[in-house]
Amino acid sequence: MRHAAVAASRAGLFVFPLRTLTKVPVFHGETNCRGRGICSDGHRSWEQRATSDPDRVCRWWSREPFNVGIACGPSRLLVLDLDTSDGHGGGLAAPSGLDALAALANDRGETVSGTYTVLTPTGGQHRYFRLPGGAELRNTQGALAPRIDTRGGGGYVVGAGSALPGGRYSVVVPPPIAMLPEWIRRLLSQPARQPAHEGPAPTGPVSASYVTAIVAGEAAGVRAALVGTRQWTIYRAARTLGRLVGAGHLDEDVAASVVTDAAAVHVGVDGMTAAEVARAVRRGIAYGRRSPRLLGTASAMPGER
């Protein structure tokens, strides 16, 4: 793993260590920062501590074969995270992120240039693009199209060579990293709709407003789902909230109620039934609970608290 981390840093990418066989940063989060050492004058996040210095990278990875985190903001990257249609969907059909990206480009008479691409353990793709000077893009979830998320400022991706229990991240298209197509930059630069406040306050130690924003975004996505994508969208929203339930950030009844209430606008439209909604919600939450999403909790690297 040290070789992969050093290679990324020498390519000008800012890297930081992730716990072995996970996607979780080694550096401590703000919620458990003691204000000592490197954080004595204020908490320093994984994004601030990421580096492209090969010597520092060698020192970090000499301790343990950590996975490699790529900090997109400092690296001036926008990564398209293309989900696969044959992942853990509980048997619910959905177009893949690859299909969605191709359709998005075709509808606009555009193309997507070839670029450095990493295959994820679940069969998805991370397509890396350089940001043009002055462009500032942050993370999005489904803003371009269903099954397409993006990672920019404030976000990171797991680098090639890293491994999870289910498989390894591997390069399928070698460098160089292409410049982000202008038409994608324009789409991502459009103002996003602000979802309304949804439901009761979540439980758990993380900021309620942060978790509530996630809940609101998922509810808004369910309400806006198009015919042909509704069942999958409901399942995916329930799965996302189920991960928060599994981590103790959200009550399960609240999660189920929010998604079910949002999906009510679809019941009776083009054959969708309440039973289908209930089944998608139940399956999604159950699956999500098995992969808890821990917000703001990461242990510190030894000697760097």
Q: What is the pLDDT of residue 90?
A: 43
pLDDT above 70: residue 296: no
Q: Give residue 3's Cα distance to chain centre.
A: 25
Q: What is the 3-state secondary structure (H, E, C) of the chain?
A: CHHHHHHHHHCCCCEEEECCCCCCECCCCHHHCCCCHHHCCCCCCHHHHCECCHHHHHHHHCCCCCEEEEECCCCCEEEEEECCCCCCCCCCCCCCHHHHHHHHHHHCCCCCCCCCEEECCCCCEEEEEECCCCCCCECEEEEEECCEEEECECCEEECCCCEECCEECEEEECCCCEECCHHHHHHHHCCCCCCCCCCCCCCCCCCHHHHHHHHHHHHHHHHCCCCCCHHHHHHHHHHHHHHHHHCCCCCHHHHHHHHHHHHHHHCCCCCCCHHHHHHHHHHHHHHHHCCCCCCCCCCCCCCCC
pTM of the entire predicted model: 0.62
Pairing status of strand 178-179 against strand 125-130: parallel
pLDDT above 60: residue 203: no
Taking residues 156-183, report their average pLDDT: 95
pLDDT above 50: residue 195: no
Of 131-145, 149-163, 182-196, the range with the lowest mean pLDDT is 182-196
Q: Give residue 221's Cα distance to chain centre.
A: 16
pLDDT above 60: residue 204: no
Give the pLDDT band of residue 127 (cuts 50, 70, 90): very high
Q: What is the pLDDT of residue 208?
A: 66
Taking residues 27-37, report their average pLDDT: 69
How far is it, in rounded angstroms, from Cα 295 to Cα 282?
23
Give the pLDDT band of residue 22 (cuts 50, 70, 90): very high
Of 32-41, 84-93, 119-128, the range with the lowest mean pLDDT is 84-93
What rounded mean pLDDT belongs to the chain?
Answer: 83
pLDDT above 50: residue 198: no
Identify the residue with better confidence: 127 or 235: 127
Q: What is the pLDDT of residue 189?
A: 87
CA contacts within 13 A on the Cβ side of 95: 16
Q: Which amino acid is at 284?
A: G
Taking residues 137-165, report their average pLDDT: 89
**Torsion region of 147: left, alpha or beta (phi above 0 gives left; psi -120 to 50 gives alpha):** left
Q: What is the pLDDT of residue 216?
A: 87
Q: Which amino acid is at 127?
A: R
- Could you tell me what percent of the chain has a pLDDT over 70? 84
Q: What is the pLDDT of residue 4?
A: 95
Closest to 207 (Cα-Cα) out of 235, 239, 249, 170: 249
Of 114-118, 151-155, 195-199, the range with the lowest mean pLDDT is 195-199
Identify the residue with better confidence: 293 or 6: 6
Q: What is the pLDDT of residue 31?
A: 58
